[in-house]
Amino acid sequence: MHTAQYTDYRFWLQNELTERCRRNPKYSLRSFSKFLGLNSSTLSQLISGKRRASVKLLSKLCDKLEISPLQKKKMAQFLEKQKKKNSIDSSIKKYPETAFQEVTPDIYAVMSEWYHYAILELTFTKKFQSNPSWIARSLGISSVQANIAIERLMRLGFLKKERGRFIKTSPPLTNFSKEITLPALRRLQEDILKLGLESLHNISITERDMSSMTMAIDTKKMPEAKKIITEFRRKLCKFLEDGKQTQVYHLGIQLYPVSKKEV
């Protein structure tokens, strides 16, 4: 069970479904709805915001997913607040500013899933199709993950749809906010390392480059070394993006000790 603290049940359900798909690629919206005892159409509408949960239904979902009494209370309070402020139609057209300010856990989920960044960069490729199924196939993720990620990115203002085409609206995302927790950073890097390992075994050497160097260093120079790595990343990114963009790549640079620190 995910431990992030949510106030909006939509973000909670989205992330719970994403987590299950992450653990089991064959898991689907239908599987989740069956587990919750809901019609798949009803669950889809709840997640997308086209339908609002009742207090009774929210309580049932919380009990089914074994949510703590405190978090259950917070989501129930948020639901009541939303009922007073907005009708269901207005909440679909535009999410209230106050709700948007409370999406830190959702942003956490975005920052910790590698394919959100990949979707944004995929929009620049020549043969890009603004179709969740195509995006899912292109990135090797499930359609559920693709749909939820697209909805999140659009809601958070990183992505928009114009004339039937998805367009990246955010500036380059190079640094994490101080609000993002360390576990989120760990998770993102773990995923990138796993993808790198998979490419080592499955991608031709002509389409990848993996190298390493072992060295004895002056550890006092680590801060400066990090600055040099940052400058190198940005320079290489600028060089590679200048031209015909046909694929999305990850660049991973690892610099870490393999010997114990001298006492």
Q: What integer pLDDT is reported at residue 95 of this predicted model?
A: 37
Is 1-96 a CATH 1.10.260 domain?
A: yes
Q: List pLDDT tens digits, range 74-90.
A: 888 888 877 766 544 34
Across the chain, what does the average pLDDT equal? Answer: 78
Model confidence at 131, in pLDDT bands (50, 70, 90)?
very high
What residue ranges do the domains of the chain occupy? Answer: 1-96
Rg for the chain, CA atoms, rounded: 21
Which residues neighbour 85 within 8 Å (Cβ) at sequence distance 6 or greater?
Answer: 96, 98
Query: What is the spatial distance between Cα 137 and Cα 153, in angstroms, rounded to a whole number?
Result: 18
Model confidence at 93, in pLDDT bands (50, 70, 90)?
very low
Residue type, 20: R
Query: What is the spatial distance between Cα 119 and Cα 158, in angstroms, rounded to a whole number?
Result: 10
Q: List pLDDT tens digits, range 211-253.
A: 888 888 899 999 999 999 989 998 999 999 999 999 999 888 8
Query: What is the spatial distance between Cα 228 and Cα 235, in angstroms, rounded to a whole number?
Result: 10
Site of tokens 């367009």: 167
Between helices 132-139 and 114-122, what is the axis angle to 10°?
Answer: 120
